[in-house]
Structure 1
């Protein structure tokens, strides 16, 4: 028998399986023009096992069906930059797993990527076929098709409830604790949730048929709701996307205007004061010539200097003397950076309160204590968080602050001073890890419940 006769003949598309990934059937596009093979994967997360890098991910093996999914994990054998047919370059994880085609099985390398907008969930490239198969491009599924009833038997995954919503999580990093928890909570309540990378969304402005697209051309107009989790450096573009979602009648848990004004530290302080909420005495000026009076108006040193664009405690400086304050302020001004100068509340002793507000209620609260040598209570800088029962007055202030910003979900930061509770900041994308860990509250599920309540009322 010649080498030619030993090879298996396959068509331009074939059903295959990945036994080690618990994928019994997935239809592959057979493409000898593509060098590498790729597998549809979402919610990709890395972890370490016995010193080796692994990934866990979800596969929706059936095209146009996001209700059926398989949880998978595999060891990472490589990370590669792959150039797609559209010219986009993407860094992908590579795994090596056995593939079953017909009655033959062998190991292949596949890259993991979101192929939701493609015609097939699997692409079989020439490296995986070399020396094993011959492709007849005129034949489709020469090794047999998979009828719907067969697929239904193979995938006995629980169906999403008929009342389930289609939710988009608009963020930048699917591996963050908060984003993972929100997706878990939505799925556990019977909803279909998609992670939407802000950078991969784009829109069509049209008087008759406006649209929002996701990388690859998938249209997102059929979503019921969007949960925005926006990084500060993506505020402008993300708020533009949210306005497009809003114009399509898609509910946004925090709307674009609320997020934009909460991110403007100066405007947010002005709004809080307009709603009779107390904040630390704050100064703002454009010219270095006003530095001396700026320092005096907040009570002198020590004082706090904040970058308007800072977040999570970054861009916040304690100036302990007037000379130090002048130096820092003038240095920032020389860089054309906008800053706030704020009184230092010594009696707070490096502690603040984080109140998590959802739909007009404080659902959890913690006290955060600064790490040794730090002046700001911030768990992102090594501080610690602990459960605390806040006073009715503090609860009232937190709710009022969230309403002042028109935020349905907010992390309101307070400090206790000799003048009473002061509002430091209202965060439109508060993290869940610190507060869920300290309180054992399922904050993520409460966020999903708020969406259910709004849409049911609508």
Structure 2
């Protein structure tokens, strides 16, 4: 009689030195698959072998087990999102409850997947029936048992190793993040974006720093990429992600936030209200473009503007036409946006970390200056935001998949409007205005994500 396997099971690989790994049981997949990183092929006794590393526990990068096995095949496998890739196939013994038998495993990067292993039908056939309504039908391990099994793999250290990827170590925000990480017992290293470079290789990808030093063994990266190096900085962030390092904001999220047009389209698609915004290519449409956003005064923004740079206030229709056509004549992409007069030179910066607004400040333009949706300079003060504004800020950050974001909101006659979302928000103004230790909150968010507990295995 076949035994009953649940929708998830604990697998033990004694040959590979893996004490236990939680697998998703999937009878729809033919071959079983194991999460692997840093895959490198080598020859041993005229046979092809593979060296790889596995982080066997979900959302825990601190435990890394090096493994070696003989390659029995290379197969092209199509992933669940339709991408085909060649994967090495190994053969090894697996223990499932009281049973021990040999199975084939493809090695693949499953860092974005919930489970570190997939148990396919070739391993199940003739041995088990699957009941998707239960879990651990063959063997269940308690948290205490998993900790005991992995006790020898726990690194003897007090904190995480974090990289701050930025351009200027002397900026207030960067100094505060370094201070906060060190205060919580972590090792933090400042990395200049422009001094890092990468090796693109399927078997042994690398990131190196000036002088040829290989950057490895980071648990997390905090990216604070200035607009001028967005493209290169995001390439580095992707490389860190490929190497299994947790990035506080992903390259995709940063790229989306920096493209004001794409971000505005995403916000409109998800029913987030923004000031009426126009975008056009031909100078022949300038007059209608101005009318479309309710005429002057209006705001003209470069698509990759940030912190008020590349933003112009045109106070008359004639001035607006001149500025718009001047930008178009040099093939520069711009957005034209209505000016919110009733804001009286005020806007709100909400600082979002890990899906929560942790601080908010109001910014007021100096007397005689416009602010509204220009957001340059001005005085900052603590403010109590409304539930609607809080919900708007959290939703905007979530749409761009940003773990850390500065969300700018303006109050209008038709309710709060979203101005923009900054993926590398400054800390100085909001920390001084609110008295909140934002840098500490960011470090704690990394600890939660990595389930960091000194001297304890994260499950």
The aligned length equals 299
In structure 1, what is the equivalent of residue 435 of structure 2?
A: 440
The correspondence for 2:297, drawn from 279, 298, 302, is 302
The correspondence for 2:210, drawn from 212, 215, 219, is 215
Distance in 2 between residues matched to 1:297 and 1:225, nearest whole Å: 45
**1:63-78 → structure 2 map (5 Å cutoff):** none
The correspondence for 2:278, drawn from 267, 277, 283, is 283
Pairing 1:256–2:235 present: no
Write out per-residue CA displacement over residues 186-241 of structure 1, whole angstroms, 9 at most, x where no aligned residue: 00000000000000000001111100011111111211100000100100000000
In structure 2, what is the equivalent of residue 156 of structure 1?
A: none
The correspondence for 2:224, drawn from 229, 232, 235, is 229
In structure 2, what is the equivalent of residue 109 of structure 1?
A: none
Contact 2:306 2:422 in 1 (8 A): no
Pairing 1:239–2:234 present: yes
Distance in 1 between residues matched to 2:168 and 2:184, nearest whole Å: 22
Q: How far off its partner does 1:374 sit?
A: 2.5
In structure 2, what is the equivalent of residue 182 of structure 1?
A: 177
The correspondence for 1:197, drawn from 186, 192, 198, is 192
Q: 1:278 to 1:378 in 2, by over 3 A?
A: closer
Distance in 2 between residues matched to 1:437 and 1:240, nearest whole Å: 33
In structure 2, what is the equivalent of residue 430 of structure 1?
A: 425
In structure 2, what is the equivalent of residue 334 of structure 1?
A: 329
Pairing 1:419–2:419 present: no
Distance in 2 between residues matched to 1:377 and 1:213, nearest whole Å: 44
Secondary structure of the structure 2 residue equivalent to 1:240: helix
Distance in 2 between residues matched to 1:319 and 1:422, nearest whole Å: 20
In structure 1, what is the equivalent of residue 313 of structure 2?
A: 318
Any gaps of 5 or more consecutive residues in structure 2?
1-154, 452-457
Pairing 1:265–2:277 present: no
Secondary structure of the structure 2 residue equivalent to 1:450: helix
Contact 2:299 2:374 in 1 (8 A): no
Contact 2:180 2:439 in 1 (8 A): yes
**1:40-79 → structure 2 map (5 Å cutoff):** none
Write out per-residue CA displacement over residues 3-22 of structure 1, whole angstroms, 9 at most, x where no aligned residue: xxxxxxxxxxxxxxxxxxxx
Secondary structure of the structure 2 residue equivalent to 1:426: strand
Task: Say what the alpha-carbon RMSD is for the aligned residues.
Answer: 1.6
Give the 4+ runs in structure 1 shifted more than 3 A: 377-382
Secondary structure of the structure 1 residue equivalent to 2:425: coil
RCO higher in structure (CA 8 A, sep ≥6): 2
Contact 2:298 2:336 in 1 (8 A): yes
Distance in 2 between residues matched to 1:376 and 1:200, nearest whole Å: 37
Q: How far off its partner does 1:378 sit?
A: 9.2
Q: How far off its partner does 1:373 sit?
A: 3.1
In structure 1, what is the equivalent of residue 353 of structure 2?
A: 358
Distance in 1 between residues matched to 2:210 and 2:366, nearest whole Å: 42
Q: How far off its partner does 1:163 sit?
A: 3.5
Pairing 1:392–2:376 present: no
Contact 1:313 1:376 in 2 (8 A): no
Write out per-residue CA displacement over residues 236-255 of structure 1, whole angstroms, 9 at most, x where no aligned residue: 00000000001111000000
Q: 1:254 to 1:309 in 2, by over 3 A?
A: same
In structure 1, what is the equivalent of residue 53 of structure 2?
A: none
Write out per-residue CA displacement over residues 95-144 of structure 1, whole angstroms, 9 at most, x where no aligned residue: xxxxxxxxxxxxxxxxxxxxxxxxxxxxxxxxxxxxxxxxxxxxxxxxxx
Distance in 1 between residues matched to 2:379 and 2:403, nearest whole Å: 26
Secondary structure of the structure 1 residue equivalent to 2:304: coil
Distance in 1 between residues matched to 2:373 and 2:261, nearest whole Å: 21
Write out per-residue CA displacement over residues 297-334 of structure 1, whole angstroms, 9 at most, x where no aligned residue: 11111111111122111111111111111011111111
Q: How far off its partner does 1:372 sit?
A: 2.7
Any gaps of 5 or more consecutive residues in structure 1?
1-159
Write out per-residue CA displacement over residues 65-115 of structure 1, whole angstroms, 9 at most, x where no aligned residue: xxxxxxxxxxxxxxxxxxxxxxxxxxxxxxxxxxxxxxxxxxxxxxxxxxx
Distance in 1 between residues matched to 2:366 and 2:173, nearest whole Å: 23
Please give the TM-score of this superposition, normalised by the length of structure 1. Answer: 0.64
Secondary structure of the structure 2 residue equivalent to 1:162: coil
Secondary structure of the structure 1 residue equivalent to 2:252: helix
Contact 1:414 1:422 in 2 (8 A): yes
Q: How far off its partner does 1:382 sit?
A: 3.7
Secondary structure of the structure 1 residue equivalent to 2:309: coil
Write out per-residue CA displacement over residues 165-185 of structure 1, whole angstroms, 9 at most, x where no aligned residue: 110000000000000000000
Q: 1:432 to 1:378 in 2, by over 3 A?
A: farther
Q: How far off its partner does 1:369 sit?
A: 0.6
